[in-house]
Amino acid sequence: MELHHEFTVPVPVDDAWRALLDVERIAPCMPGATVDDYDGKTVTGSVKVKVGPITVTYRGTAVFEEQDESAHRMVLIANGKETRGQGTARATVTGTLAERDGGTAVSVRTDLTVTGRPAQFGRGVMAEVGDKLVGQFAECLARRLEEPTERTEPPEPVEPFQSAQPVQPVQPVQPAEPIDLLRTAGPPVAKRVAVVVATVVLALVFVRIRRHRHA
């Protein structure tokens, strides 16, 4: 399925371009996503999606195939696989930036292929959920871009023969909260999703009952 989203951020296009490539800085704005590693081109991490009682985790990579600074155009190819299932997700994301009224308009086109449980919801649900998730990301990104850049003071020199303070261990990355499709979709879409969820849950219960009887 193909999805299209647009949003604006209140900074010049060059600043927005640098910010969108600063994955560590914007990672907390990505709903459901946890970034484990980034080498300047490849992002390794996971995305969690929750549908009622079911939580699906995709692990994979996202690679910047194109970063055209002069045209302010980037292409990202992401691949993920369920950690406890056979479902997969693949997306080709093309983002373009343009100056608009002193800010930056960001256009994102996504060619998305999903297999497994989330694929049952169809394009309509995925598009509506995508609209709200992009809106959340845009609001978070705008707030971060408006924050003043912290200045890092140089460390004080250590006197000769004086032992330095022990280095504090790096805090582990906190896993992100999963994307709750029922909450994000809103009441109209949630009703449609709930029907699918109820069907899946009943099927699981039925299978377990059958297994118990056979046992």
Residue 215 has pLDDT above 90, yes or no: no
pLDDT in tens, 120-174: 767 777 777 788 888 888 888 888 887 765 544 444 554 544 444 444 443 444 5
Per mean pLDDT, which range of 15-19, 105-109, 148-152 is the poorest?
148-152
The pTM for the full model equals: 0.69
Q: Name the CATH code of domain 2-146 (choices 3.40.1280.10, 3.40.50.300, 3.40.50.620, 3.30.530.20).
A: 3.30.530.20
Distance CA 146, CA 184 (A): 26
Q: What share of the chain in percent tops pLDDT 70?
A: 69
- Residue 79 banded pLDDT, cuts 50, 70, 90: very high
Mean pLDDT, residues 107-131 taken together: 80
Domains of the chain, residue spans: 2-146
When the pLDDT of each residue in the chain is averaged and rounded to a whole number, the result is 77
Distance CA 197, CA 121 (A): 10
Q: What share of the chain in percent tops pLDDT 90?
A: 30
pLDDT score recorded for residue 11:
92
Helices (H) and strands (E) in the chain, counts: 5, 8
pLDDT score recorded for residue 166:
47
Element (H, E) at 202: helix 187-214
pLDDT score recorded for residue 208:
54
pLDDT score recorded for residue 105:
95
List the one residue out of 123, 140, 71 whose CA is nearest residue 99.
71
Distance CA 144, CA 23 (A): 13
pLDDT score recorded for residue 202:
58
Write the burial class of residue 54 (CB in 10 Å: 0-12 exposed, 13-18 middle, 19+ buried): middle
Distance CA 130, CA 62 (A): 18
- Residue 62 banded pLDDT, cuts 50, 70, 90: very high
Residue 96 has pLDDT above 90, yes or no: yes
